[in-house]
Amino acid sequence: MSSTGATIDFRSVRKTYGKFVALESFSMHVKRGEFMTLLGASGSGKTTALNALAGFTEIDSGEILIDGVPITRLPTEKRDIGMVFQSYSLFPHRNVIRNISFPLEMRGVPRAEARRRSEKALQMVRLDALANRMPHELSGGQKQRVAFARAVVFEPRVLLMDEPLGALDLKLRETLQLEIKDYQRQIGCTVIYVTHDQGEALTLSDRLAVMDKGQVLQIGPPEELYDKPQSRFVAEFVGANNILKVEGAEPGSVMLEGLGRVSGHVAHLIAASFASIRPELIQIRREASGAHRATLAEAVFFGNSVRYVLRAADGKEISAIEPRRPGQDVLPLGTPISFDLDVADLVALKG
């Protein structure tokens, strides 16, 4: 397949439903061929932005452009956009190959050419042996692969995906995440992907945008949002995190909830309201040699690691992840332990 991606621009887009503001001054640039994920809770505006781009939702103000061309008033069928939904939306009376060929038929592609292109799309998703199956004869994963092939068979410049894996079990979701990324590389189209699943967003995205109340709070590569969240909301939403209130600061040291007074290179924390640190950066000591004392309040065994919840002297609970070696015991609840951390790993957050 030979699709090439397009740039996408949202410029100060606003959309309301009565008194509810779904999008407010929503602006975002998506690069050509980029896999961009919109991540946020229900009601954050993710799907509204997707539907506005697709032409399913009329915006109140602002502008949407594809390759620099305004498409805000362009009919949906003329926007050259493919879309994959969570519900698959396959035609129950059409077999697999005819489901895939439907967009080509609607565009007047000759039957023989439509068949050839549909077979090629089916080969890409490795379902060519199921061309004559009916949708009710397919598994959930197979249905989603057919939906993907149908969305890209006409070689759109832009592909929109609205929580396409949400109805699948965990193991199948993980498999299809890797396949979707591989398909996108083969096709070269620009993808905007909507999800509330943090792991999915971190796995798939070239960049991701965290949304809340119709606006983008932070946008960047997954590792940037994970390592350097700019606000408490992003720190809490992207992966597990410990949020510690900054209770006092002076040159060379800060007072942190759960840690007490911390000294060293703390200049970046002086003006912060909160600091965050990832659980995997907390170093548990199985003896009282660490800088901070705590009591073990919870332990969750994951096989290759154990997630501990440590209750500090002031009552603050701090999560820590300890890699596990074969034969290593899980610590019993109530065990007095200690822990260390590197002050440089503390990230300053806005409120």
pTM over 0.75: yes
State both tokens at 307.
């997630």
Domains of the chain: total: 2
Place of tokens 């057919």: 146
What φ, ψ does residue 218 adopt, rounded to 5°? -160, 140
Q: Encode burial over 148-184: b for 16+ CB neighbours within 10 A, e otherwise.
A: bbbbbbbbbbbbbbbbbbeebeeeebeebbebbbebb
In a domain, 304, yes or no: yes
Q: Given 204, 228, 252, which residue is the final one in a domain?
A: 228
Domain containing 81 — which CATH number?
3.40.50.300
247 shares a domain with 150? no
139 shares a domain with 23? yes
97 shares a domain with 51? yes
206 shares a domain with 89? yes
**CA–CA distance, 63 with 68 (Å, rounded to integer):** 11
253 shares a domain with 164? no
Q: Given 199, 228, 257, which residue is the final one in a domain?
A: 228
249 shares a domain with 273? yes
Domain containing 338 — which CATH number?
2.40.50.140
Owning domain of residue 285: 240-349
62 shares a domain with 23? yes
Q: Given 228, 259, 281, which residue is the final one in a domain?
A: 228
Q: What is the pLDDT along the chain (351 residues), one digit of tens a residue?
A: 555 789 999 999 999 999 999 999 999 999 999 999 999 999 999 999 999 999 999 999 999 999 999 999 999 888 989 888 877 688 999 999 999 999 898 888 999 999 999 999 888 888 889 999 999 999 888 888 898 889 888 888 999 999 888 777 778 788 888 888 888 888 889 999 999 888 889 999 999 999 999 999 999 999 999 999 999 999 999 989 999 999 888 888 899 999 999 888 888 888 889 999 999 999 998 777 778 999 999 999 998 999 999 999 899 999 999 998 888 889 899 989 999 999 999 999 986
Q: In 3-state terms, the chain is what percent helix, strand and coil (to 5)? A: 30, 35, 35
- Neighbour order of strands in the sheet with 283-285: 283-285, 336-340, 292-301, 305-312, 317-323
In a domain, 273, yes or no: yes
274 shares a domain with 136? no
344 shares a domain with 287? yes
pLDDT in tens, 262-289: 888 888 888 889 999 999 999 998 777 7
The 10 Å Cβ neighbour count of residue 317 is 13
